Structure 1
């Protein structure tokens, strides 16, 4: 009996993701995104996907690829980011968007992975986050077609808190710097922000890794996420990183 969770290609790793599936997708901006897995899903052609991610990539990279191809029906994220197509689809009613405070989004994913159904937080109290009415989907005329519901609030020691529910997803897609064949993962720098949380929240978690090693080669103290949360591992090598927003300036050579 083998404990290996390795699959040979990204296409094989995502082959059973069906139309209409929910996906928790790791990464922060374009840092640490599972680019190979996203590309494989795009080539597979599934649609009507519901995505939970910190943001939706850019117009030509990351989840923006699936968005531009019309494969996403709903996105739960903390901000729109550097993606004009995301904003266009949201404002024209083509895409349903649930905006969530970044820290709350992180905790909702963690709670989902830990089996905690809900939690109270002060973030959003006294705003449409708690009171409801935020436009999840617009009508073609710009009206609000679907609005967020009001959430339960409760007083603790004289302070008001809002109840937030946990997030789980059918599949989680994450990118790790190093992983072993049992699914233990190590993340690099800023990619540690949402990749571990998304991995915990997925019922089936698929990890693309730059470097694949055998069990025991990864220092236990370097493991950021234990393999119990991971069902599939695929080695993709270094996929590179797009620059989200390039800023340049003219340099005076005489100074």
Structure 2
């Protein structure tokens, strides 16, 4: 008797399930198609290099980046609100070669803390464009912690500042530039007495002969702490390097070197 009841209940359940599917349930073909699509690739690239790729071949670059998740890093060139009331940040090396990144209104507070000339890394969805109108939608600013995880990590230093061996490369090469000799930055005495610590990102041009030709501060933490700028710049310019190599030939490249000043 119990077996018969169980059979009737099970049969009744499947009948109801079949009726539900036959009358009100349909397959969402679009979602099913998206389910089997590969997930978008995350590209990590400097704003200057992204502009260069679009400038060389718009079609090739658009096929590579359009609709993908992208992380672009560079210097803030402009911050504002367009005629459609959309908030944006433009990052790059110089105008008009900037990448326009659109943010949601809820991100206004974080955008208000930015300033022109500040280094940032931004993640979002790439949209089609050309070399001067490339757009990133649904953008967000990466935190310092995320930057450290995504971009090459600096060396953790001891009581004196040292130059990190890892660095952010602005151009791709077969062999990236490296240190032959790392000049040790001098810890400013007034900073040592005051117990001040910080981190400076210095961008330096490494020539084909491996010699640094020019440099400037790209970013600092804390942003207002400039006491470490000069010793960081001096250390970078007084270091010696192996040049980057492309197709067996030395090439000129920008190299960003993180330098941390710590009393621990």
| TM-score, length of structure 2 as denominator length | 0.27
| TM-score, length of structure 1 as denominator length | 0.27
Larger Rg: 2
Higher helix share: 2
Report which structure shows greater RCO (CA 8 Å, sep ≥6).
Answer: 1
Higher strand share: 2
